[in-house]
Structure 1
Amino acid sequence: MSPTPHVVLLGTCDTKLDELLFVRSEIVRNTTTVTFIDVGRKLIDHGTITISQERLLKEYGEGQNVSELPRGDVIKTMAACATKAVKKLYTEGEIHAIISAGGSGGTSLAAQVMRDALPIGFPKLIVSTVASGDTNTIVGETDITLMSSVVDVAGLNQILRQVLSNAGFAIAAMARAQASRRDDASYKEGKKKRVGITMFGVTTPAVDAIRKHLESKYDIETYVFHATGHGGKAMERLVREGGLDAVIDLTTTEICDHHTGGVMSAGPHRLEAASEAGIPSIVSVGATDMTNFGPMQTVPERYKDRKLYEHNPVVTLMRTSKDEARKVGTFIVEKLRKYSKDPKAVQVWLPTGGISMIAVPDGPFADSEADKILFQTIKDGLAGSGIDVIEDKRAINDQSFAHDVAEALVSKMGIIEKQSNVAQG
């Protein structure tokens, strides 16, 4: 039998006790156990609180009194302590979901705990006053579910009761599903290898061809990540969590945005995780001919005279310059040289016939000089590193190129075709 569903309820009891108690009652109505953790500024004594603020600080912090600290420091301190407590509960297999409710401060605190303590796939839900705004800093590259509170989480009323009741029933159902998956063989690690692939609109034909090739010929399931900043970070996070066995980092466009201030940067740590893990990895330069901005009018003034391309009404692309191409190539070289645990597990493919759908000859972003600088920077930088660099005359979206990239990864993974397995059986 599956274990009784168990939910962590996280919140600031000094400001939201009544609302949190209502959420708790709705979860308990669903025959679900609750561990109630108080992350508030002031100590609150209530019989339903499982881990009090005082206990949290004593067992997972330095036992300090946070009541007089600035608001920002309180959030940082309580988030750090709660992260340790929740991580311990998760590691011990005690819990199946987590929920919180609050305003911007409580949301920030709860989201940090959920991001830092729990893996992708574990149910996470926040009822928040800021759920309908810019949630970039809340969700990040994780799978936190946000539910708008509509009214402030400040006193129970008909609307808030309905929202919180929905949230309580929802998280109880998620917890029940999570608990049942522990005994469901279909969710347990199987024989299929897990391969992450990065994709953008202008590299979609290549990724589709790679995905179909790998999944039709081998016991592989693919995870495609849209290289919009969070996509790259999500793939790197999954690698660190042990959720991927190999990577085809075909589309490294996020590096361009990192250097130029585009809207789809994955930050300074891109290309580190797979190299550090030592898993089989194919790296290419898909869509490094472009930086991404919003609508045309949002392009920074300093770039107004550059080659711009309206991809759609909400996305404007800027062609990578020669200097930027050199910076992108240098970034790739430095990351692979510094972090590659096993250089032989990594291979770099350079499609000189076109690095995106619009960077092929006669395309709007065709710039052979910039591309040559990119390719040469990578070839020169990785010389003597033990990392193979394959320079190929085909375009990145050429189907035969995609198939060869897929086979190159398979070779590094050391797996055989499905048909061979059947024949041997």
Structure 2
Amino acid sequence: MPPPPRGARRRVRVPAISAARVSSRASASGARIVAHRGAAPHRRRPFLARSVRQEFRMNVFWFIPTHGDSRYLGTAEGARAADYDYFRQVAVAADTLGYDGVLLPTGRSCEDAWVVASSLIPATKRLKFLVAIRPGLSSPGLSARMASTFDRLSDGRLLINVVTGGDSAELEGDGLFADHDTRYAITDDFLHIWRGLLAESHENGGIDFDGEHLSAKGGKLLYPPVQRPHPPLWFGGSSPAAHAIAADHIDTYLSWGEPPAAVEKKIADIRARAAARGREIKFGIRLHVIVRETQEEAWRDADRLISRLDDDTIARAQQAFAKMDSEGQRRMAALHGGKRGSRQELEIYPNLWAGVGLVRGGAGTALVGNPEQIAARMREYAALGIETFILSGYPHLEESYRFAELVFPLVKGGGNTRRAGPLSGPFGEVVGNQYLPKASQS
């Protein structure tokens, strides 16, 4: 039997199982979780992901720009209203074009991710939503109920993004006063409770948990989620504390778009940590993308995206990032050094451009090039073990179509345009009012 998660001792009390078969292990912290079940024996280990290697498939997600959208960074010029109508357009486009899901950002710079994602459920048919839970800002019990309800109403289309947070000023504004490592300790307690509540809900059970920072007594969910044991957990973080959380709890680890060698090191560390706990983890990467029919067009549009930036705007953004205690943000800033630089200086690896990170927090790199170059870089990351690419481009509506048109045909399993019937397209405009266009005019 695989070992229990770090930092917890678990004891299952089921009348049909003798005391000799009850597993109980103590942790250094002394945390203890007890599951109480009122239904038939439930023999699944709810706190460990299934250690089964599934067939590889490249998944492609898009992004709902709830913190604004524009043709240029750092200016209101070229901006568009970030409202429900626009979010719906982007979501419907992603759903129709064959993207596997969408990420919704979280934080005070965005509209609330849960409200927006909930509003998009009826507008979409199969699109999955990657939505954040925030340990320390909401209770694990409340977050578990929100997740279960969303999963039920969307018929199992919820994915959970665990965001510990790295901006102390924002977190203190939201009422959380804790240093970096304490926040991750809170996240550990939070996830033990959150996962336990959802896993036990399938058997009408409940939990007690005594952690270092968070506890629960008689915790219970009456409405279980569609997905078992709970919606999959996604997570990103570059510090040792973050990697430990990933190894213990997470189903898919997300890296920001660093050069392949750096991503490979993170994957190796997390994979080894998870293996020591009897677990396997999937991996994804978060990138922007600027793809055009030719590489010259792509680089010209990359330059255009930051053409309205001035030195003062860049300096103010970098000063804000420097105050954060996020290791991931520090690594993003190190890629460009806080300076605009030349196109060659910002191309930190072939077709990997750090210009976005001059003023954008979080994911700050973009794949830039023609379709073949973009597909080649994606395959390079995939060879390291990356299965999911979460992409975005400015402006997000148009770029969702452009990427699907130019790159999907080159990426195996990367998405398929949904077709309602044999004459539903896509095939372009009918020629001469009689003929369907050829597949290729070249």
Length-normalised TM-score, structure 1:
0.30
Q: Which has the higher helix share?
A: 1
Structure with more contact order per residue of length (Cα contacts < 8 Å, sep ≥ 6): 2
